Amino acid sequence: MRMSRLVYCSTHRELAPFHDLQDIVTTAQNNNAANEVTGVLFYGHGTFLQAIEADLVDVAKLHDRLTRDPRHYRLQVIESEPIASRTYDRFTVAHLDGGTLLDAPVVDQTIVARHTLGDRYTPYRLTAAKANGFLHAVERHAQRSLVEVN
Ligand SMILES: Cc1cc2nc3c(=O)[nH]c(=O)nc-3n(C[C@H](O)[C@H](O)[C@H](O)COP(=O)(O)O)c2cc1C
């Protein structure tokens, strides 16, 4: 299998914010489990930061669908690279401030502060290394909080 990773950020277009967010997450979780896509989808302050790892053909197809999805805009690619093997264990969803809108773990502000560029979270200035470092920390945190809940 020839694999690749895409990391991007984008801004949520709030047409019907409540249903929208949960619909996006549910679709991503179902499709990614079926298509062996691993990575993290993180929602914070109205923006998405997502890493996707899969067969490179599947990543390209998903990238294409994402580009045409009207529920977000200002999609900025942070990294798009062939990879030798996966670095994310599974597909994880987490958020900073989706509140009760999202059936997903909440990430601690200290993790955000440690891995990003300051108090005011924005994904648009992240380098690939910082984005992946942050998303790996989110993955670890989310898996711990899921274990605690169950
Ligand atoms: C921020 C965001 C993240 C998304 N992440 C995924 C994802 O990880 N996997 C996926 O299959 N679809 C994801 N989607 C949904 C796709 O854009 C698309 O709607 C979905 O794959 C179904 O495409 P189709 O209707 O052309 O089959 C995401 C959408 C948004 C707005």
- Give tens-digit pLDDT for 6-19: 999 999 998 766 67
CB 54 within 8 A of CB 3: yes
Which strands form 72-83's sheet, in the order they lie side by side? 72-83, 3-12, 47-55, 38-44, 91-95
- Distance from the CA of 62 to the center of ligand 1, in angstroms? 7
Is residue 121 lining ligand 1, measured as CB closer than 6 Å?
A: no
- Distance from the CA of 103 to the center of ligand 1, in angstroms? 17
Where are the chain's structural domains?
Answer: 3-149
For a mutational test of ligand 1's pocket, the pick from 27, 73, 93, i.e. the residue with the most ligand atoms closer than 8 A to its C-beta, is 27
Q: pTM of the entire structure?
A: 0.93
- Give tens-digit pLDDT for 95-134: 887 665 667 778 877 888 888 766 678 899 999 999 999 9
Helix (H) or strand (E) holding 22: helix 17-34
CATH 3.40.50.300 at 3-149, yes or no: no
Q: Which of 20-24, 46-50, 104-108 has the lowest mean pLDDT?
A: 104-108
Could you tell me the pLDDT band of residue 41, with boundaries at 50, 70 and 90?
Answer: very high
Is residue 69 lining ligand 1, measured as CB closer than 6 Å?
A: yes
